[in-house]
Amino acid sequence: MNKEGNQRGTDTRERLTEAFLTLLSQKDISRITIQEICENAQVSRTAFYNHYEDIYDLLHKCGKEITAKAALSFFGADGNWNEYSRDGYLRLFEFIQQNRSFYLYFLRQGSLSRIIAEDMSARPGRSVRQEQYRRIFHSGAINAVLLWWLEGGCVESPEELLAIIERESRSGLLT
């Protein structure tokens, strides 16, 4: 019996996830079949259904795990959020680059706000609503830049990408 948490089950989930992410980098999720995932992972359909209800359950569970790891890379081990942490963004960009297949899908959905902190406490002189607009604006811009970077093959290093984002953030919208 393959009990939850044993090494064989863990290996199977890892192989299914890897196969799924590979396929996700090649085509839209609506065109991926469970049969393809199982063939690429070299596991049976029964093994797939022992772990997941369907492809969207796999996507959801994979997304939760990767997003949790991304948040850890962004915040660091202490879990503290500073308004801007250059090291945090650099670690996040490196993590995204290492998990390119997933993030190509994830960022196409405009989902960066799941990674960047959702703490909507207002800065002095701003309402919570103003702060929400600011966060949405910045996460949307970074989402678009990261997606373009990933689709282009990550030509720039994470350090170069961060420098570009910092420079463009300072240059202002209407210049």
Q: What is the pTM of this model?
A: 0.70
Predicted local confidence at residue 119, as pLDDT: 47
Residue 1 in domain: no
In tens, the pLDDT along 110-123 reads 666 555 544 445 55
Task: Return the minimum-mean-pLDDT range out of 3-12, 67-76, 134-143.
Answer: 67-76
Domain presence at residue 157:
yes
Which positions ≥6 away from 77 have C-beta within 8 Å?
A: none
The range of the structural domain enclosing residue 152 comes to 78-171
Q: Is residue 91 part of a domain?
A: yes
Asked, for residue 17, whether it belongs to a domain, the answer is no
Q: Residue 130: is its pLDDT beyond 70?
A: yes
**Is 138 part of a structural domain of the chain?**
yes
Structure tokens at 9: 């089950």
Confidence class of residue 175 from pLDDT cuts 50, 70 and 90?
Answer: very low
Q: How many domains does the chain have?
A: 1
Measured CA to CA, the distance from residue 15 to residue 107 in angstroms comes to 23
Which DSSP helix (H) or strand (E) runs through 108? helix 100-108
pLDDT digits (tens, 9 = 90+) for 62-108: 888 887 787 777 766 555 555 457 888 888 899 889 888 888 888 88
**For a pLDDT cut of 70, what percent of the chain falls above it?**
79
Classify residue 132: in a domain, yes or no. yes
> What is the rounded CA–CA span in Å between residue 76 and residue 82?
11
Residue 20, in any domain of the structure:
no
- CB contact at 8 A, 50 and 5: no
Question: Measuring CA to CA, how many Å separate 78 from each of 31, 69, 71, 81, 153?
Answer: 40, 14, 11, 9, 32
pLDDT, average across residues 12-21: 92
Mean pLDDT score across all residues of the chain: 81
Q: Would you say residue 43 has pLDDT above 90?
A: yes
pLDDT, residue 1, reads: 43
Select, from the ranges 31-35, 108-112, 132-136, the one with the highest average predicted confidence (pLDDT).
31-35
CA atoms of 125 and 53, how far apart (whole Å): 48
107 within some domain: yes
Structure tokens at 168: 């463009």
C-alpha–C-alpha distance, residues 78 and 174, integer Å: 37
Name the DSSP class of 116. Answer: S
